[in-house]
Chains A and B, each alone.
Chain A
């Protein structure tokens, strides 16, 4: 079992809410290399030969299994580009807990680009949790640019739960989903930015299969002078259903730009979008004041629940 230092353990606690253990199927990527990994009888993790990253093979026998693949960067000035491919067989039912935590105490930028591709087999059910977090007193930026591609076979279900809580100076997220017949996609994206951070999220969802459906919910809070840009797009090329909802709280001198886009190429494609940006409602603050909470406490509770 690999020895982990205190900072790494702290970061793992932040990005893996279920608790990272060096047990079952796992891989811990640490400062640009795989520090430790484990397989199970249903999950095989293989290091890529031609580039950085891994291939993860999940058999259809895997039922209710968790796969933990956190990334920790504690060195200043590290640039890490990683290609991870997931092959999920027909009927598998798994939760993949990814996430990247950075501690940058130096003056050089640290950057991690995780390029993930998921091949989701028929009737497979995948829950993918991804938490991004940054800390460290250094002046070097903490940069995360994840690219996620999801190819969904017939009747598969994919839940993408992505959270960026704090400390990431710049993120450019690209997500592409290609959906087969009766496939179901659930996306929940939660984001909080502060100071002068920037976050851009582009998401293209192609509903190509008859009966496919997608629900994309984005909730964000922008504080300080941070900037957020969301551009989720649903393209319906079959009888399908999609719902995009972007909701943001804007504070201080922040900027939030929300551009939900819907594109129907079939007469039976039913696609809806909603977007709302607004400050914390004064009536909400007053209501919580009447519970005996101060203004600061009330604000924190409103944000916490909004991103819950």
Chain B
């Protein structure tokens, strides 16, 4: 279980403190799937980075399975069982896809396992295993590989930052299936940052982050109707 208590992130912007995450608290139960959504620039990705230790909070606590991990490094959080898929994954010159997936798994992966991981995200293993994770791969291919890399290892909690961004429609359907499978096993908790209705529909709970605060959080049936109607000018007739 993940528990976030009064998390605050106020970095300096040109010498002035700017509130990006403003006193956020929530819990994610084991096997639960939470989708974080909300307007761009509202603090969703920063929230995800704070959970992974990529950014350091200015206040608050993060507890993971009862242990305070607020001061943990990224490496320690990974070892504790948190996986993270980047919105814009970096590229690695000279590193093959097979090596990349093996590093992600923490052990040398046999070809058939790499093949399963790649086909799960719509990539053909034969074509990709010996290719380099460099700028010869398109943005969409990188995104799919990023998701495969996070799925290469068993985690207690997966965090995906806009997994759908830059992915074509066909691959998106495969991705949704992957998340459905993960969610059905209820082994891992999932936090997904997404704007996609199909992904939001899968969630147990939906969280809306706006201006660094949680503006709504609860079961999707409760949050979704409000989400559709809350934006000005959305044209909703049931307002």
A residues near B (Cβ < 8 Å) are: 219, 247, 281, 283-284, 286-295, 301-302, 305-308
Asked whether, in the complex, the Cβ of B73 is within 8 Å of the Cβ of A289, the reply is yes
Instruction: Count how many chain B residues have C-beta atoms less than 8 Å from C-beta atoms of the other chain.
Output: 23
CB interface residues, B 22-80, toward A, < 8 Å? 52, 54, 73-75, 78-79
Within 8 Å CB of A284, what residues of B?
A: 90-92
B residues near A (Cβ < 8 Å) are: 52, 54, 73-75, 78-79, 83-84, 86, 89-95, 99, 103-104, 106, 149, 153
Asked whether, in the complex, the Cβ of A308 is within 8 Å of the Cβ of B94, the reply is yes
Asked whether, in the complex, the Cβ of A291 is within 8 Å of the Cβ of B94, the reply is no
Asked whether, in the complex, the Cβ of B103 is within 8 Å of the Cβ of A306, the reply is no
Q: How far is the CA of A294 from the CA of B79 in the complex (A)?
A: 11
Most chain B CB inside 10 Å of its own CB: which residue of A288, A292, A293, A305 = A292
Q: How far is the CA of A308 from the CA of B96 in the complex (A)?
A: 10
Asked whether, in the complex, the Cβ of B92 is within 8 Å of the Cβ of A290, the reply is no
Residue of B nearest to A290 (CB): B84
Q: How far is the CA of A296 from the CA of B201 in the complex (A)?
A: 41
Inter-chain CB contacts under 8 Å: number? 53
Question: Would A219 and B106 be within 8 Å (CB), given that A286-B74, A292-B79, A293-B75 are in contact?
Answer: no
Question: Would A305 and B99 be within 8 Å (CB), given that A287-B90, A292-B106 are in contact?
Answer: yes
Asked whether, in the complex, the Cβ of A292 is within 8 Å of the Cβ of B89, the reply is no
Asked whether, in the complex, the Cβ of A302 is within 8 Å of the Cβ of B83, the reply is no
Question: What's the minimum C-beta distance from A31 to chain B, rounded to whole angstroms?
Answer: 36
Q: How far is the CA of A292 from the CA of B86 in the complex (A)?
A: 15
Within 8 Å CB of A281, what residues of B?
A: 90
Asked whether, in the complex, the Cβ of A307 is within 8 Å of the Cβ of B90, the reply is no
Question: What's the minimum C-beta distance from A306 to chain B, rounded to whole angstroms?
Answer: 5
Asked whether, in the complex, the Cβ of B94 is within 8 Å of the Cβ of A288, the reply is no
Within 8 Å CB of B89, what residues of A?
A: 287
Asked whether, in the complex, the Cβ of A290 is within 8 Å of the Cβ of B95, the reply is no
Beyond A219-B94, A291-B153, A301-B95, 16 additional contacts (C-beta under 8 Å) are A219-B93, A281-B90, A284-B90, A286-B54, A287-B90, A289-B73, A289-B75, A289-B78, A290-B74, A291-B104, A291-B106, A293-B103, A301-B103, A302-B92, A305-B99, A306-B93
